[in-house]
């Protein structure tokens, strides 16, 4: 069995697949106010778990509790996965394809926390916990930024000096794993291989992506996951002048 874990900003989703690719179970642990709900169903939709637990009011602690709840349930099932695959939000310019996780990879991903402070620590916490849960089992990181790595330099550059681009100040784009899945569904909808489409990822975090021929052309998100559409806890695109105005004239008034 292969175990897929997706630690998000407000939920943890996980799925177990048989070696044949057939889904064995899927579950979600999500925050609802000050309560944690864990639900797991089997391949036929039968309920394997349905529990509501209290959690701390602090959102960061709450998501950590979600990861712990998932690990606890997995323990009760005595599962022995071949590998654990993780969705990781930020791969920077270094990680543009899935990679086997080791100490060096973890250190590189931790260095990217400054660019994804809400998500990256939680992704790393999930990796650490699964490592303790299944020592010696390979873990693989798949990156939300990787889908957009083929965008043209024109799309990736900000109007800033080239030296800053070389230092990693660029548009990365996010939700790439979601968009990669959607592009694989387009031919099933009768679309041509070179179709030009705008795809939407709508949730607590939200973005749009222009795709041509299954390849990302442009995304509403940039250096971090703050840019673009208004979201559940993020303003989206905001004139930098607003920030300067609040700092100089309006902050705290």
CATH of residue 91: 3.30.420.40
Q: From CA 102, how far away is CA 249, in angstroms rounded? A: 48
Is there a contact between 3 and 81 (Cβ–Cβ < 8 Å)?
yes
Q: Is the pLDDT of residue 251 over 90?
A: no
Tens-place pLDDT, residues 186-245: 999 898 878 999 999 998 889 999 999 999 999 999 999 999 999 988 999 999 899 898
Is there a contact between 227 and 237 (Cβ–Cβ < 8 Å)?
yes
The predicted model gives 20-41 an average pLDDT of 89
Banded pLDDT at 20 (limits 50, 70, 90): confident
User: Do residues 45 and 131 share a domain?
Assistant: yes
Give 87-121 as a DSSP string: EES--TTT--S-EE--HHHHHHHHHTGGG-TTTHH
- Choose between 250 and 118: higher pLDDT: 118
* pLDDT reported for residue 74: 87
* pLDDT reported for residue 62: 66
Is there a contact between 39 and 46 (Cβ–Cβ < 8 Å)?
no
Catalytically active residues are 144
User: Do residues 184 and 226 share a domain?
Assistant: yes
User: Do residues 20 and 136 share a domain?
Assistant: yes
User: Do residues 111 and 227 share a domain?
Assistant: no
User: Do residues 203 and 136 share a domain?
Assistant: no
Full domain range(s) for residue 133: 2-143
Q: From CA 186, how far away is CA 246, in angstroms rounded? A: 44
User: Do residues 35 and 66 share a domain?
Assistant: yes
Q: Examine residue 47 and state whether it is found in any structural domain, yes or no.
A: yes
Range in 10-24, 41-55, 238-252 with the lowest mean pLDDT: 238-252
Banded pLDDT at 58 (limits 50, 70, 90): low
Q: Examine residue 185 and state whether it is found in any structural domain, yes or no.
A: yes
Reported in sequence order, the residue ranges of 43-97 that DSSP labels E, i.e. its strands, are 47-54, 83-88
User: Do residues 169 and 134 share a domain?
Assistant: no
Task: Show which of 143, 178, 205 is a domain's final residue.
Answer: 143
Banded pLDDT at 10 (limits 50, 70, 90): confident
* pLDDT reported for residue 31: 82
* pLDDT reported for residue 8: 79
User: Do residues 122 and 207 share a domain?
Assistant: no
Q: Examine residue 233 and state whether it is found in any structural domain, yes or no.
A: yes
User: Do residues 88 and 131 share a domain?
Assistant: yes
Provide the mean pLDDT of the chain. 90
Is there a contact between 62 and 55 (Cβ–Cβ < 8 Å)?
yes
Total domains in the fold of the chain: 2
Burial readout 100-126 (b: 16 or more C-beta within 10 A, e: otherwise): ebeeebbeebeebeebbebbbbbbbbb
Banded pLDDT at 252 (limits 50, 70, 90): low
User: Do residues 13 and 128 share a domain?
Assistant: yes
């Amino acid at each position: 069995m292969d175990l897929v874990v997706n630690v998000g900003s407000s939920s943890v989703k996980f799925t177990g697949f048989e070696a044949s690719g057939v889904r064995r179970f899927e579950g979600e642990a999500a925050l609802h106010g000050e309560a944690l709900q864990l639900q797991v169903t089997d391949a036929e939709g039968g309920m394997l778990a349905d529990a509501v637990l209290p959690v701390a009011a602090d959102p960061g602690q709450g998501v950590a509790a979600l990861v712990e709840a998932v690990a606890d349930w997995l323990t009760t099932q005595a599962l022995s996965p071949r590998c654990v695959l993780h969705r990781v939000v930020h791969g920077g310019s270094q990680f543009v394809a899935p990679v086997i996780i080791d100490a060096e990879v973890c250190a590189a991903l931790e260095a990217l926390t400054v660019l994804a402070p809400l998500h990256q620590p939680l992704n790393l916490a999930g990796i650490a916990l699964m490592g303790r849960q299944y020592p010696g089992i390979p873990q693989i990181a798949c990156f939300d930024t990787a889908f957009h790595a083929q965008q043209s330099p024109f799309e990736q550059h900000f109007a800033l000096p080239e030296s800053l681009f070389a230092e990693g100040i660029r548009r990365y784009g996010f939700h790439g794993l979601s968009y990669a899945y959607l592009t694989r569904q387009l031919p099933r909808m009768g679309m041509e291989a070179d179709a030009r489409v705008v795809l939407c990822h709508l949730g607590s975090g939200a973005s749009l992506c222009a795709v041509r021929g299954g390849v990302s052309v442009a995304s509403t998100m940039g250096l971090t996951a703050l840019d673009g559409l208004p979201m559940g806890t993020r303003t989206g695109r905001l004139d930098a002048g607003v920030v300067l105005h609040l700092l100089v004239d309006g902050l705290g008034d």
